[in-house]
Structure 1
Amino acid sequence: MVKILIADDEQDIRDIVTWYLSREGFEVFTAADGHAAVDIETAHLPDLLILDVMMPGLSGWEIAKAVQRNVPIIFLTALNAENDKINGFKLGADDYIVKPFSPRELVARVHAVLRRTGKLALPGDVLQVPPLSLEPGTQRVMVNEQTVELSAKEFELLYFLVRHPHTIFTRENLLVNLWGYDFEGDERTVDTTIKRVRRKIGIAGDFIKTVRGSGYKFGVDQS
């Protein structure tokens, strides 16, 4: 499920955007101030950030600077001056929407940004890291054009890692993002699942790196 963070100090804005995006099937997190937004971003690694600019704690500009990974950002703000828009795009914004806004237009722009940045899978979409190929729509996995059978959770783990190349994830972080806070198992569940995925995908299993003392990452060695 695609995860979206809405950071805005107006409760009405958070509620209406949450309602529209949830109806589209997105998992939505909300924050009323900048510090909470950064905490949620770090813990849940949303696929898209929708940021107000003027918020308590940290501004939307500061949040964009604080994010340590490549994630799409839409600024949703009352600041409509040309310099504000230019500043937003200089900070890496993928879109800039001025309040008051149409929720339906916001949803359309969210879909457009997610498709453009490869975060939203469409029927027939394929994620390829040769010799590995993933089809999120059907959860089909192929290695050297040979189909590999993975369980739903194994596919989810592999797809999550492939979508965040070279990002180191602790076992706890993977548990939270893929099994949920209420999962009653322990961190060995991650190790066991990683081991099964590596074995099943064969040579492509070398892409899943163990980072000693930290966790795991997906990456292809550059020659």
Structure 2
Amino acid sequence: MDVPKLLEAASLLVPEEIATENDITVNDVWDYLTHDEWEVALGLLEELGDVDPFPLSFWDAVATAAEQMRVEKSAVWCHWRGYETRHGIIRADLSLRPASESRRQTPFSGAGVLRPMWNIGNRTPTGEPTLNIAALWVEFTPFLGPGERSPVRLAPLDPSQWQHLQPGQVIAMHEDQTVAGTAVVLEVLPPAPTPTE
């Protein structure tokens, strides 16, 4: 399917009454699509996707369109949102330890590249702490460095191990045996309901 058809398909999944804080609606998307301004339409669809939970087919269509347009960051973000649609959303406020107190000496990309280990309270059968892996997406900034703080989204390797998390819970990030940062869980949302046909 070509880019305009993918974006049109995604647009058809957006209810007309949905609007962003800036009053962007699906009608704005259609306006840009009729003028072949696909990248603008793509960006507006991403914004509308933050207003209300949309089905996986929405994120798949938008991600494929972004890939075909070679808008890499948008494609990665839309795949991330598709993952959250299937497995749920975990948001936290992450504070990294300063460079003088941790292994990390440089900033890392916030676009879901880093997959650190997390102490989320799980234990081995003998009672030892066990670490769980989750990719990390930093919100509102492209990089996060030692000593910095930002809201983040987590995509667990095994979502079933994370179901006990609650807002306010403190979890620890590890890149090795030492604690690289701590995060306060802000939000835990279940997977989006699957539409029945």
Normalised by the size of structure 1, how large is the TM-score? 0.28
> Greater relative contact order: 1 or 2 (C-alpha under 8 angstroms, separation 6 or more)?
2
